[in-house]
């Protein structure tokens, strides 16, 4: 089977499952061609929350029959309200930082996944802020590990420093908050960093928020932050807690949350990988509920949920199944995207293939900026 055929087969199985369980309809029935949307006036005060369902979950443990028990919130709460894309292909490098950077820029970035570098191409945050003249407080990234410190703005000469998003690395904040206390052991479960190489700990260089700024930005004292963190179970819970704090205090119009607990799969422990998926599923539901309850967000926010990529299939002998994402096989490249919001058709399924680089131009169409250097195309069904 060719990669294209395999990709289509994966998409088909997702679609068939969704239609059998939810009765979801083909979105093409409800949407016209992309050209019909051009020229439309973009409403003001729109907001978008992007959640990368990360890092790297397979269909086997999510949308396939054995995996459905792991994603009850996606299936029963979010899916009926969403347009679901069954065939999102990532043709880039399957490392979490470089893949997320590719989604953020709409261009397949090619830098070393383990290097502390900025993306080469302008990020969605730079397009958003420069084109729409938005302040720095209107675009934020909550990122999982120190390696993502530079995800907020690019090295592009026309954009770059000062035009990107603020980056919050919650684990970095917590680590700093605990540096002067002897209480660190209680929080160790929240401080795990990158799983791709368990020993990866890059030096920090980026525009990430530091502890001293936290009180100002999040209206949150170090003590309150540390006290709340103690009640959380994982780094992703910490990330969502910070994201919700940002929503309450600053109400950014563009908020990007990168979840990462799932990537514990690299340790080879299937049960911990499943735990990560279940947690990610629950947190997506909580974020959507938070959006609905917050007057600044309700009825004006579109949420995009998508994995950065999948993981290796059990069948490819070059990999070791769920543990890694090294083979580049169709299963590790083919994922999905769920989009919810007031302007998005509910309970609809889109089968045509799109690419993960299409998200930035889609956000461009949604907000009214031009992602001029992105190689992706706006997704008409939700633009």
Partner 1 sequence: MLPNQLTPEHFAAYPPEARQLATKQLSLLQRLPLAFLPLLLRELIVYDWKFPAERIDLDRQFTYLAHPQILTTAMAPFAQLRMTRELEQTDWVNSPAVFSEQLSAHLWATHQIDTFRNAAVDYVGKATASAPDPPLPTHRLGIGIIGQGVAKNDYRLFRKLRPQGTYYTQIKHNGGVQTLLAAAAARAKTHPVPYGHWYIDGATSLPVPEGVSRISYSALATPRTALQSRMLKTYEASVFDPEAFRTMLAQMKPEDVGLASGSDGLLNRFQLSLLTEGSGTQVFATTFVQWAARETLRRAQPLTIVARFTPRQRDKQMNELLAESQRKPELDPQGSLVDADMGAYYTWLNQQRLPGEDKSAFLVWFEDHDEALAIAPSLERGKRSDTPTELADLIARLA
Q: Does residue 58 touch partner 1 according to CB under 8 A?
A: no
Q: Does residue 318 touch partner 1 according to CB under 8 A?
A: yes
- Segment interacting with partner 1, rule: CB under 8 A, options 16-24, 36-44, 316-324, 345-353: 316-324
Shortest reach from residue 321's CB to partner 1, in Å = 6
In terms of Cα–Cα distance, which of 324, 112, 114 is closest to 201?
114
Q: Does residue 204 touch partner 1 according to CB under 8 A?
A: no
- How far, in Å, are 87, 226, 255, 302, 311 from residue 364 at the CA level? 21, 37, 14, 13, 29
Shortest reach from residue 261's CB to partner 1, in Å = 11
Please state the φ and ψ torsions of residue 141, each to the nearest 5 degrees: -120, 130
Overall residue count recorded for the chain in this entry = 383
Among 12, 38, 186, 189, binds partner 1 (CB under 8 A): 189
Among 76, 181, 197, 205, binds partner 1 (CB under 8 A): 197
C-alpha 80 chain-centroid distance: 20
C-alpha 280 chain-centroid distance: 11
Q: Does residue 377 touch partner 1 according to CB under 8 A?
A: no
User: Hey, which bits of 143-231 come out as E strands?
Assistant: 166-168
Shortest reach from residue 164's CB to partner 1, in Å = 23
**Helix axis angle, 96-105 to 124-132, nearest 10°:** 30
Shortest reach from residue 36's CB to partner 1, in Å = 34
Q: Does residue 179 touch partner 1 according to CB under 8 A?
A: no
Among 45, 179, 182, 188, binds partner 1 (CB under 8 A): 188
Shortest reach from residue 270's CB to partner 1, in Å = 4
Q: Binding string to partner 1 for residues 13 to 42, with x set by CB under 8 A, is what?
A: ------------------------------
User: What span, in angstroms and rounded, lies between the C-alpha atoms of 174 and 191?
Assistant: 8
Q: Does residue 120 touch partner 1 according to CB under 8 A?
A: no
Shortest reach from residue 57's CB to partner 1, in Å = 15
| Residue 215 CB neighbours (<10 A) | 13
Q: Does residue 201 touch partner 1 according to CB under 8 A?
A: yes
Q: How many helices (H) and strands (E) does the chain have?
A: 11, 10
User: What span, in angstroms and rounded, lies between the C-alpha atoms of 287 and 81?
Assistant: 14
| Residue 110 CB neighbours (<10 A) | 12
Judged by the rule CB under 8 A, the positions of this chain that interact with partner 1 are 3, 66, 91, 93-95, 108, 110-112, 114, 188-189, 191-193, 197-203, 264, 266-272, 274-275, 314-315, 317-318, 320-324, 327-328
């Amino acid at each position: 089977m060719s990669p294209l055929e395999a990709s289509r087969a994966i998409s088909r199985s997702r679609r068939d499952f969704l239609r059998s369980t939810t009765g979801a309809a083909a979105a093409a029935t409800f949407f016209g061609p992309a050209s019909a949307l051009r020229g439309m006036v973009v409403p003001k005060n729109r907001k978008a929350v992007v959640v990368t369902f990360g890092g790297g979950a397979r269909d086997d443990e999510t949308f396939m029959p054995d995996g459905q028990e792991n994603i009850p919130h996606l299936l029963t709460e979010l899916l009926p309200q969403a347009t679901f894309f069954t065939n999102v292909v990532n043709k880039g490098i399957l490392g979490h930082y470089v893949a997320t950077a590719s989604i953020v820029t709409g261009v397949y970035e090619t830098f070393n996944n383990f290097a502390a570098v900025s993306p080469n191409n302008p990020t969605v945050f730079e397009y958003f802020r420069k084109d729409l003249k938005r302040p720095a407080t209107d675009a934020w990234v909550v990122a999982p590990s120190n390696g993502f410190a530079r995800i907020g703005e690019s090295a592009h000469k026309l954009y770059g420093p000062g035009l990107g998003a603020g980056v919050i690395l919650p684990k970095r904040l917590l680590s700093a908050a605990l540096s002067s206390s002897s209480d660190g052991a209680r929080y160790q479960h929240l401080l795990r960093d990158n799983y791709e190489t368990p020993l990866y700990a890059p030096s920090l260089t980026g525009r990430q928020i530091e502890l001293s700024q936290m009180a100002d930005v999040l209206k949150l004292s170090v003590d309150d932050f540390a006290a709340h963190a103690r009640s959380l179970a994982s780094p992703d819970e910490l990330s969502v807690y910070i994201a919700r704090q940002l929503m309450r205090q600053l109400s950014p119009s563009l908020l990007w949350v990168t979840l990462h607990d799932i990537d514990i799969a690299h340790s080879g422990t299937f049960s911990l990988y499943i735990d990560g998926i279940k947690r990610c599923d629950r947190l997506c539901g909580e974020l959507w509920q938070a959006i609905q309850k917050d007057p600044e967000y309700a009825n004006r926010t579109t949420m995009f949920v998508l994995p950065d990529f999948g993981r290796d299939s059990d069948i490819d002998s070059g990999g070791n199944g769920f543990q890694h994402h090294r083979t580049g096989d169709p299963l590790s490249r083919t994922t999905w995207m769920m989009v919810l919001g007031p302007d998005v058709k509910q309970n609809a399924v889109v089968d045509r293939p799109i690419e993960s680089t299409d998200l930035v131009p889609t956000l461009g169409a949604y907000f009214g900026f031009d992602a001029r250097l992105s190689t992706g195309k706006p997704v008409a069904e939700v633009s």
